[in-house]
A and B are shown apart, each in its own frame.
Chain A
Amino acid sequence: MTALLVAPFAVPMIAAVLAMLGHRSVKLQRILGVAGALGLLVTGIALLIAIERHGPQATQLSGWDAPFGITIVADLLSAIMVVISGMVATASAVYSAATVDARRTAFGYYPLTNFLLAGVAGAFLTGDLFNLYVWFEVMLIASFVLLALGGERPQLEGAVKYVAINLVASTMFLAAAGLIYGLTGTLNFADLAQRLPEAEPTGLVTAIAMLLLVAFGVKAAAFPLFFWLPASYHTPPADVAILFSGLLTKVGVYALLRTFTLLFDHDPGLIQPLFLWISSTTMVIGVLGALAQAEFRRVLSFHIVSQVGYMLLGIGLLTPLALAGAIFYIAHHMLAKTALFLVAGAVEGTRGSRALAQQGGLFERRPRLAMVFAIAALSLAGIPPLSGFVAKFVLVRAGLEAEAYLVVAAVLAVSLLTIVSMVKLWNEAFWKPAPEAEEGEGPTGAPAPAATSVGTATATSAGGGRWRLAAQLAPGAALALGGIALGIGAGPALDLSMRAAEQLLEPTAYLEAVLGEPA
């Protein structure tokens, strides 16, 4: 079992080291890039099957018993997150194998993506607060470099904002970890879960909870801490943005889910309404921001913010159904959003521009790409029978059961606005005639300055033969199909989410697995 628990982050890490050793061979690095992601997916599935059969599992690294050593622990939520991350990572790796140019490969694109995956998987599987901080940093440092890799002006601008805000958030996380250790003398999640309810003064526990809320809120891009996301996600080449969009904010959401179900349930009168407010405002502000944008990836970036709101709703309502809905929503979102970013990358590669005004006519030119977009966009908006409908339906029902009518109204209104925004993307990028036919019709008619940087990143791919086009299309199509499967097979998937939610709310099995004795 130890091997199974460690493998999801060990495999990408080994792939990263091998890719660094083989830095002379672009081909070898490409293979290792895909292999690391595929390894994450395969080990994740194996882990999920094991957890599903035997309940939460834990192992103590280097043989130090909990709570003294570092615990690696997986319950259903961790395992589900690892599996979905593996899917997203594999799709992104296949796409980037076709689009990453020799220069970025030479500067370590493939080792960096694999380190990022290791950080993500480690964060999902750790059972220790400080260890979580370390995995966060592994993930963040890899993402810092990936964001700036290439050194175009927009990338540098985005990277400064992204690095600065994340550094501030990390110091808050660290401060909270230090305070929690001073208060309880432990950092192990399971041990904390037992000691925090008795910790005095409770005011300090609340203060620590708020520090962690801000720290994870920044990483998850929740209102009012989301401004770094739409300011940076559209600046790197598409392949990097694809990986970020699917994985990074969800690690923040996972950390919030874990800490606020396991550790900080001491003051539901404060924390639950706070989360309801955060999630509703995040949803609404995010979707309004998306409506105002005129660039494919910036629209999608604001939608990430909007959907983080849905995921946080689970913590706000804190019922089994709401948490199950949130978990299902995370899975749905990661698949659909990554598919949309994959399409955005392919659209930019075809048109050589990021601005919607310069796009158009793609329905005729690349009908299959248009189909992938349509499926993922409709799923995001919540049209049955796609996965987004099920996710939103469950959340709405949980909201009605908890009599949180304002929040339910927000969920429904935001869904409507999401459709409006997706229709706008469809019209601009796919449906309207190609811009040659209507010159001067865009906001200014001038070529975007960003176009050059997109061009350098994807020009090789745009004219690079059929297999490159296929490698750009296939991952998005696979994820969109996954979304359909998740929608049609919603019964078993929801059942799994329900059980994951129950494990979160009733963590006795988790505590037993870590501490080794009936709690």
Chain B
Amino acid sequence: MALAEPLLRLRGVTKRYDGGGLVVDALDLTVERGEFLTLLGPSGSGKTTTLMMIAGFEQANAGEILYEGRSIANLPPHKRDFGVVFQSYALFPHMSVAENVAFPLTLRGIARAEIDRRVARALDMIELGGLGARRPGQLSGGQQQRVALARALVFEPKLVLMDEPLGALDKRLREQMQLEIRRLHRELGLTVVYVTHDQTEAMVMSDRVAVFHLGRVQQLADPRTIHEQPANGFVARFIGETNAFDGRLTGTGDGRDVRIDGSAGLVLRGVAGQSAPRSAYVLVSIRPERISIGDGHGENRVVGRVRQAIYFGDHLGIEVAIDGGAMVRVNLGVRGVDHAPVPDSEIVLSWRAEHTLLLEPVI
């Protein structure tokens, strides 16, 4: 069943540093044809090492990487036909822009005229048509990144690997390039494995996101599931903002009532998250945008005192201190609030049980 086989499959891939520290721990991962898969995680979580093992620049200590069902362990990087885009662009400084883009084509013995045609088309694609004769050093950072992109795509690789390609750009340019890479992915039907530590970037671009932590994939799902249904405490805290409390199941109410630590006996009602807690000790995660002001918005109700209200432009962030010292963060859309709550005033918060996720504590 060749078609059922994913384009790329990592099975039990493990990477240790020479000193013995585990970088990637028995990783299983699949990349489907035509998908945009993002490896997301903090620095040192193993995501870049995983990408470099796929590219062939690092060797796994155990496990295997299969391309269309066949191991590529013995295939050196230059025979893999995977396009790689590096954070540092890695443009060849002694070649012009056009020569850089033509480089992979010249290695493949393509005729001169055909090379010229494809280079011109690639440069048009990234809207740098007139700059082929320039040296990379004469281009801006954003232009250099586009050239790097064109160079990695021009030889029609079977898989495109990107290692934080936008990490060196400023915010505005980064957002513009995110959309452009998305467009190229769709238009050219590429299969992309993309590494980033920026969760917004992962959300915007990906079909699926693999959240890395401590050399393991904590959750592999589409962006919405990752956000709404985090698999565990790490994902809940890493993705978006959250109120995270340690708590203990009370043993009553179907086992979904939980007593919050540091809260003078507050008991909340929640639902089990993707990874149901294995013991009575749980992590309680409530997204700040799911909490409303006033009674009647759900099963959970808390009275507290406003500490401060911060205006963010698109929303209002309110910090509420509850009895026992715990702090709850509430995000309100600016449209619904005419005036900000006054610091030190009493406030009532409520939200639904289904937005109170009970998760395995952070590893």
Interaction A to B: no
